[in-house]
Amino acid sequence: MSVVGARPNFMKIAPFAAAIDAWNRADAARPIEHFLVHTGQHYDKDMSASFFQLLNIPEPNVDLGVGSGTHAEQVGRTMIALEQVMQRWRPDWLVVVGDVNATCAGAIVAKKEHVKLAHIEAGLRSFDMAMPEEINRLVTDRLSDLLLTPDAISDANLRAEGVTEARIRCVGNVMIDTLDRNRPAAAALDLDSVLTARRIADGATHPPVQLAGRDFAVLTLHRPSNVDHATILGPIVEFLIEEVCAVMPLVWSIHPRTRKQLQQFGLWTRILRTPAIVLVEPLTYHEMLKANLDARILLTDSGGLQEECCVLGTPCVTLRRNTERPVTLWEQGGLSQLVGNDVATIRQGFHAMRGVPKREHRPPLWDGHAAERIVEALVQASV
């Protein structure tokens, strides 16, 4: 049984589900039955169903429908509903991915039900306990029987916490399996047509900027630490409008949390009236991949985008003070630079990075075959 809940889980579960299918086709004597649970944390079409369709993820066997809420509400509702599902189906393993509330809730329920637990993307640490995801990572890894890590830094983090060697398996980055598989389809898209179709006009009268052949920036922001306070989000928006847009157009794929906050802080209309900002609904996986492939630079607080920029070679200004993915940083050979959320350091990072040539970098085992290694590790751990 595997559990997903939020957008960043979907691109990680897709290759895992496909690798199980491939295993069953190749070795029908020992088939693996896969029961997929969606907690329903993300429920908008653009945040969930579009990823299932596009990435050929099997229809979830169960949707727990937990929806939005506080952390305790989401984790609590997931635990209550998932406990019943696990008691009914009694899986041999529960597989959780990433660091969202579904991950942590799933881990706790599995262990209390005496079900073996595997964590895909284990060992990441930001060492920042103000991040809800760090708490999810710590709880999940402490409970996991099999810790499937993306890189050697994560292995070292787990060893430092006393995890025994037998429980750690470095399998590489499963999200890069999805990236490699979908890159040709993404590259074939016409970005200007995509953005025109996905544009949020909301009364704006200027025509959409045409990006073909031009340098442009792509922005995503969703972390509570960046978007939940007007004193932080306001100056960032001012910088984007006055300084980034003075140099190149900016494609902004808007997260529902951020949209709500911009509207609440009275910043929404100002963004809509800025002709150099192409404001779009949350892009699909292929659309975002295409935007990343063609962009001169990304500005983001997403962990997944830091990794995709690393592999695609797009300079990445990361609006965070720390990262659980240090392997993507400039000093490790990647193209991500941490700038926090203070405008002075964002400005410095933006201007330093916007002239950096694109340069693809693949850490070891980010080779598109992580999911196969995950299935092998699970099978080995089951005998």
264 binds ligand UD1 (CB under 6 A): no
Transcribe 222-279 into DSSP letters. --HHHHS-HHHHHHHHHHIIIIIHHHS-EEEE--HHHHHHHHHTT-HHHHHT-TTEEE
State residue 278 phi and psi, 5-degree precision: -100, 100
Exactly one of 7, 77, 320, 325 binds ligand UD1 (CB under 6 A); which one? 7
For residue 28, CA distances in Å to 25, 34, 336 come to 6, 14, 43
Cβ(34)–Cβ(57) under 8 Å?
no
Return the structure tokens found at 226.
């960046």
Of residues 4 and 272, the one with the C-beta less far from ligand UD1: 4
Exactly one of 33, 44, 92, 202 binds ligand UD1 (CB under 6 A); which one? 44
* Per-residue contact flags (x/-) with ligand UD1 for residues 70 to 99, judged by CB under 6 A: -----------------------------x
208 binds ligand UD1 (CB under 6 A): no
Please give the Cα distance from 106 to 167 (Å, whole number): 19
Taking the complex as a whole, how short is the minimal distance between the CB of residue 370 and ligand UD1, in angstroms?
A: 20
101 binds ligand UD1 (CB under 6 A): yes
43 binds ligand UD1 (CB under 6 A): yes
β-bridge mates for residue 106, sequence order: none
Question: Is 222 among the catalytic positions?
Answer: yes
Catalytic residue among 222, 229, 351, 369: 222
135: nearest Cα among 94, 92, 74: 74
Taking the complex as a whole, how short is the minimal distance between the CB of residue 372 and ligand UD1, in angstroms?
A: 26
Other CB atoms within a 10 A radius of the CB of residue 279 amount to 24
Taking the complex as a whole, how short is the minimal distance between the CB of residue 132 and ligand UD1, in angstroms?
A: 4
Q: According to CB under 6 A, which residues from 219 to 238 bind ligand UD1?
A: 222
Catalytically annotated residues: 222
Residues that bind ligand UD1 (CB under 6 A): 6-8, 41-44, 47, 68, 99-101, 132-133, 222, 255-257, 260
